């Protein structure tokens, strides 16, 4: 069941979203050749602890509980990468997904960052991934049904020669990280069967994942890290977005990029 949020509840969610934005501002300053992915995770964990926020990812059940507050996925890794001793090198792209609960409400956001100078293919992939997220948010204020948005997202990705991941989708978000509805960034029969109306009070995490090659994926031996079957690079961009009577509002804004909130950088 989709639970619509009141204006007051959305404002409470904005506080959690802005803290996640602050975490990404911290992450963006840390991304450089030579840094270990575990160092990034530790810095975000410390920030959440200082602000009295509960990390959403750490301890998530699985074959082994997820051990970190961030999912950090490098190059061909799509999602759920586990931070560790790996050092980033120039030419990498690294997706960092993190979220927290603050005063009972959740925020969730992912971004893919270039490390030093990256290849032309990776640069284009980054551009397409970011733009397809922007497109989705813009269309949320224009379309009636999510399937209309999802169709145009996938068409944009395919027009640029890439593929949309179909095994992972976005989600509703509120008091819990994962709520109804499921939010795919492609359209098929299942999407149409579970379509939902775009109306004020809806709050969703929109998170397209775009692969340079095949949409097929594989699971690593750590039981969490998902990577592309052909080992080509992948990007992941995500915002928590509220739909209001005035249009869509990004609750996890990029500092200096959107005028829908201010994160402390």
Band (pLDDT 50/70/90 cuts) for residue 115 is very high
Q: What mean pLDDT comes out for the span 143-155?
A: 97
Closest CA to 19 of 83, 80, 101, 96: 101
Judge whether 163 lies within some domain: yes
Task: Read off the pTM.
Answer: 0.95
Looking at residue 259, what is its pLDDT? 36
State how far the Cα of 207 lies from the Cα of 42, in Å rounded to an integer.
24
Which pLDDT score, from 0 to 100, does residue 130 have?
98
Instruction: Give the pLDDT confidence of 38-76 residue by residue, as tens digits.
Output: 999 999 999 999 999 999 999 999 999 999 999 999 999
Q: Is residue 15 part of a domain?
A: yes
Residue 11 placed within a domain: yes
189: pLDDT strictly greater than 90: no
Tell me what pLDDT residue 73 has: 98
> β-pairing, 239-244 with 234-236?
unpaired
Specify the pLDDT at position 39: 98
Whether residue 71 is contained in a domain is answered as yes
pLDDT of residue 256: 57
258 vs 219, which has greater pLDDT? 219
**pLDDT, average across residues 190-207:** 95
Question: How many beta carbons lie within 10 A of that of residue 69, not counting itself?
Answer: 27
Rounded to whole angstroms, the Cα distance separating 150 from 145 reads: 9
Please determine, for residue 261, whether its predicted confidence score (pLDDT) is greater than 60. no
Q: For residue 177, what are the domain limits?
A: 7-250
Tell me: pLDDT of 183 over 90: yes
Residue 27 pLDDT > 90, yes or no? yes
Whether residue 1 is contained in a domain is answered as no
- Pair 109, 251: CB distance under 8 Å: no
In which band, very low, low, confident or very high, does the pLDDT at 248 lie, cut at 50, 70 and 90? Answer: very high
Residue 235 has pLDDT above 90, yes or no: yes
Instruction: Give the pLDDT of residue 75.
Output: 98
Residue 235 is part of a domain; what is its CATH number?
Answer: 3.90.230.10
Tokens of 91: 């030419």
Does residue 19 lie within any of the structural domains?
A: yes
> pLDDT digits over 205-216, tens only?
999 999 999 999
Longest dimension (CA), the chain: 47
Average confidence score pLDDT of the chain: 95
Q: Is 158 contained in some domain? A: yes
By the 8 A CB rule, do 166 and 182 touch?
no
| 228 within a domain of the structure (yes/no) | yes
Torsion of CA 220, 117, 262, 156, to 10 degrees: -70
pLDDT for 174 equals 98
Number of domains in the chain: 1
Q: What is the pLDDT of residue 84?
A: 98
pLDDT number for residue 230: 98
């Amino acid at each position: 069941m989709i639970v619509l949020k009141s204006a007051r509840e959305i404002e409470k969610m904005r506080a959690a979203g802005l803290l996640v934005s602050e975490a990404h501002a911290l992450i963006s300053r840390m991304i450089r050749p030579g840094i270990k992915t575990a160092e990034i995770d530790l810095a975000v964990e410390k920030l959440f602890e200082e602000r009295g926020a509960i990390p959403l990812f750490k301890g998530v059940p699985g074959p082994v509980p997820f051990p970190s507050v961030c999912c950090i996925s490098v190059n061909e890794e799509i999602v759920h990468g586990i931070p560790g001793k790996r050092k980033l090198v120039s030419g990498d792209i690294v997706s960092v997904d993190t979220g927290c609960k603050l005063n009972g409400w959740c925020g969730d956001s992912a971004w893919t960052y270039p490390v030093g100078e990256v290849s032309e293919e990776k640069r284009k992939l980054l551009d397409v991934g970011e733009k397809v997220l922007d497109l989705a948010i813009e269309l949320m204020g224009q379309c009636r049904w999510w399937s209309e948005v999802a169709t145009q997202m996938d068409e944009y990705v395919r027009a640029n020669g890439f593929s949309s991941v179909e095994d992972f989708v976005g989600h509703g978000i509120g008091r819990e990280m994962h709520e109804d509805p499921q939010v795919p960034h492609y359209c098929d029969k299942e999407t149409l069967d579970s379509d939902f109306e775009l109306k004020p009070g809806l709050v969703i995490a929109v998170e397209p994942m775009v692969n340079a090659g095949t949409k097929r994926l594989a699971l690593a031996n750590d039981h969490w890290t998902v990577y592309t079957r052909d080992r080509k690079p992948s990007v992941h961009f995500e915002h928590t977005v509220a739909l209001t009577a005035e249009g869509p509002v990004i609750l996890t804004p990029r500092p200096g990029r959107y005028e829908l909130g201010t994160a402390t950088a």
